[in-house]
Structure 1
Amino acid sequence: MLKGKKILVILVTFEEEKNMTQFEIINNPSTWNVKLKNFRGIDCYYSYEYGNLFAKKENGRLFSAYFENNQTKIFYPFIKRIVPFGNGDLYDIVTPYGYGGPFIEGCEESITEFYKYFSDYCEMNHIITETIRFHPLYNNHRWFRNIIDVEYIKQTTAADLTISLEEIRQNYSNMNKRNIRKAIKNNISCFVAENNLENISKFVQMYNETMIKNNAADYYFFDENYFIEQMQDTNLGKTYLLFAKYNNDIIAGTIVIVGQEFSHYHLGASKSSFLALKPNNLMFDFMIEFSKSKGVKLLHLGGGYEENDGLFKFKSAFTNNNNFEYYIGKKVHNTREYNKITNDLNKLYDVQENYFPIYRGKIKKKQFV
């Protein structure tokens, strides 16, 4: 049994097998970067800087669990937040926005041992629920099916950059090819923008317009400081701002993060009044060419708002349906406290019953007659 309210380092030695197991909770940037050096090709979503951006967004604190034995190494970033409607000493955890979950090098047999340590950490630190956004390209959800509740959400799609650019473009849908030709005929051009405050501000204006047009939730709006920090390099990736230009107007843009093995389409924006010129088709084609020039294997475009919607169909028109499955993981670590909060909420509020954790879904005060 693990002792103490807060676990920092657990070291267990089995002399007969000469097997050493280490479990550590990290929140120091320098220690974080040292541990990352133990992993090959780990994705940009696992950097301290990226995770900390979204810890601020979530009003929480960034941590990572590090596990190692003679067979396996695991690195698992998460954000610890105060539970709303709790007693002030209850917390939940969630992975940073995007794709993550435990990054695993080793064998499946070690997962149960890792998660036993992690569950004890949650219990001793009053963490009542855990939400994991698994990484579609790592397929890491499969390691946890017998440990937590794993739920399929939707497909994502990615351009295979290991084949020639000519072959990639040959595999575009016919409509996509026509729209790219239309954009070129309309004298739209794409380029890598200089990383400066003026260009970031231009992107923010377009991004906010796009989010308003799509009736996006408040979570998907960011202040300008977020974009400034996002554009900074990390040990695991470099962020680029790409623009589409028509005459003297910047009419569309994307933020793409280039990691060690994968690029990720992070955020996109465009001016509604220019959409008929098809700038987004040319922009995505340019983003593919740019990512391929960086030597990565895939450009992950993500998914749609819902399964197989218009946005997903647009993205998959570039990828020849090179699709992946996105899952989330859900775990209640303290059933008594979770049920108490749920029951208290149901007395006074209308809640989203299918949302997890229920207290972070849409909540509306009941109207009593």
Structure 2
Amino acid sequence: MTVVSKTTTPDIFFTPEWGKAYEKHDHGEMRVFEMKNEMGHVFYQFILRAIPIMFGSILYYDTITSFGLSGPIILNCIPGKRKELAAAFDKEFQRYCDENNIISEYVRFSSWVNNAQDFENLYGMDNRGITMYIDLTVEDYFMQEFKSGTRQQVRRALKNGVEIEYDYTGDSIKEFHRLYMIMAKKNDIPDHYVFTEELLAESFQHLAGKQFIVYAKYKGQYISGALFLHHGDYLHYHLAANDPDFFNFAGNSLVLNEGCRWGVDHGKKELHLGGASTDSLYRFKRGFTKTEPLAILTGKKVRNPRLYEILTSYKLSMAKDVDLNYFPAYRG
């Protein structure tokens, strides 16, 4: 069955408002599938994408979870029935896929909610690296989580007169996007991680009260910023934006320290930093946490094997550079 309802989920990436905010970036439409039975309740928010290969008049689709980490999640279950509930969900979702011409499914599971453990036998699972977080439940995150070099960076920013500014409404999104694009171009960030100013501005409408920007300013000039997300126990360092001309002022370190302070003041238990595409980014993020990183797990499933093979064969006949290790292969 497919139902859209007011449902309490543990993290922002599971929420329909998140799916709506980022569906354009994922080139599809947000959908919610829920299953409730005598054993419990499974909630699944995903992006439905049209496959750019048609046979006759039928349009086929595949699914991917929204940008971020989420996937199907068991919201409640009677004791001892989690595996049975997950299997029942899989059967119901298979029926949904059959009825809606869905060929394949790709899931980015949540590393901190750890919903993959309930569904690992139902998907082909891959380890896609690690994601880092700061434990905000310690007595003093600054002394217990930050490494000495990071603490020095924060103190240096304060000594240099760097100041903090908040934006809860997105009114300054043009300035944030300017800094963000400077950083994106300098670091040659892949297209999938580059967001338009329009999308970021619209996200403040969808996610009102669930995100904010923290800036570092030097003599009135914005030198660094970060877009933070929050929901339930979790705070996320979602996007960073920095002007490399002011790198020595350590504004980005001061911004993350301020994010931690906000999280503690608002009862958050973890500040998630994400992964790292470069060694320098990894070293920067690891400087803020002594907590062990978490594995990023993804799941893939072919929902219509016959058509999956047909679409893949067609793609192979039309292109010589198909990456068969990519999933789904007909998009490789």
- Give the TM-score, by structure 1 length: 0.83
The equivalent of 2:18 in structure 1 is 50
Name which of 142, 146, 168 aligns with 2:117.
142
SS in 2 for 1:204: helix
Cα deviations across residues 153-186 of structure 1 (Å, max 9, x unaligned)? 111111111122x344333112212222222222
The equivalent of 1:294 in structure 2 is 266
Summarize the alignment of residues 216-295 of structure 1 with structure 2, pairs less than 5 Å apart. Answer: 216-232=189-205, 234=207, 238-295=210-267
SS in 1 for 2:227: strand
The equivalent of 2:144 in structure 1 is 170
Which shifted more, 84-93 or 274-283? 84-93
- Letter matched to residue 218 of structure 1: D
Query: What percentage of residue pairs aligned between the two structures are identical?
Result: 31
Contact 1:232-1:238 at 8 Å conserved across structures: no
Summarize the alignment of residues 263-342 of structure 1 with structure 2, pairs less than 5 Å apart. Answer: 263-305=235-277, 309-342=279-312
The equivalent of 2:61 in structure 1 is 91
Distance 2:330 2:211 in 1: 34
1:343/1:223 CA distance change after superposition, 3 Å: same
Distance 1:183 1:352 in 2: 46
SS in 1 for 2:23: helix
Taking only aligned residues, the RMSD between alpha carbons, in angstroms, comes to 1.9
Name which of 155, 162, 165 aligns with 1:191.
165
Q: CA deviation at 1:316?
A: 2.2
Distance 2:84 2:289 in 1: 35
Contact 1:330-1:356 at 8 Å conserved across structures: yes
| The structure with more radius of gyration | 1
Name which of 150, 153, 156 aligns with 1:182.
156
Q: CA deviation at 1:233?
A: 6.1
The equivalent of 1:352 in structure 2 is 323
Q: CA deviation at 1:297?
A: 1.1
Residue segments in structure 1 that go unaligned for 5+ positions in a row: 1-23, 362-369
Cα deviations across residues 7-58 of structure 1 (Å, max 9, x unaligned)? xxxxxxxxxxxxxxxxx223xxxx432xx0xx4x521122222101222223
Distance 2:97 2:155 in 1: 54
The equivalent of 1:4 in structure 2 is none
Contact 1:232-1:239 at 8 Å conserved across structures: no
The equivalent of 1:151 in structure 2 is 126
- Letter matched to residue 93 of structure 2: F
Q: CA deviation at 1:246?
A: 0.9
Are 1:61 and 2:32 an aligned pair? no
Distance 1:249 1:140 in 2: 43
Q: CA deviation at 1:357?
A: 1.3
Contact 1:91-1:126 at 8 Å conserved across structures: yes
1:315/1:60 CA distance change after superposition, 3 Å: same
Summarize the alignment of residues 200-219 of structure 1 with structure 2, pairs less than 5 Å apart. Answer: 200-219=173-192
Give the count of matched residue pairs.
324
The equivalent of 2:42 in structure 1 is 74
Q: CA deviation at 1:78?
A: 0.8
SS in 1 for 2:53: coil
Distance 1:239 1:258 in 2: 6
Cα deviations across residues 200-221 of structure 1 (Å, max 9, x unaligned)? 1100111111111121222222
Cα deviations across residues 117-151 of structure 1 (Å, max 9, x unaligned)? 10121122111110001001111111122111011
- Letter matched to residue 290 of structure 1: W
Which shifted more, 169-178 or 320-329? 169-178
Distance 1:228 1:163 in 2: 34
- Letter matched to residue 138 of structure 2: I
Distance 2:136 2:291 in 1: 14
- Give the TM-score, by structure 2 length: 0.91
Distance 1:115 1:248 in 2: 54
Which shifted more, 183-192 or 70-79? 183-192
Name which of 86, 108, 132 aligns with 1:111.
86
Distance 2:126 2:219 in 1: 47
Q: CA deviation at 1:234?
A: 4.4
Distance 2:10 2:118 in 1: 17
Distance 1:313 1:84 in 2: 40
Consecutive aligned runs of 4 or more in structure 1 exceeding 6 Å deviation: none
Distance 2:299 2:141 in 1: 36
- Letter matched to residue 198 of structure 2: N
- Letter matched to residue 45 of structure 2: P
Contact 2:16-2:32 at 8 Å conserved across structures: no
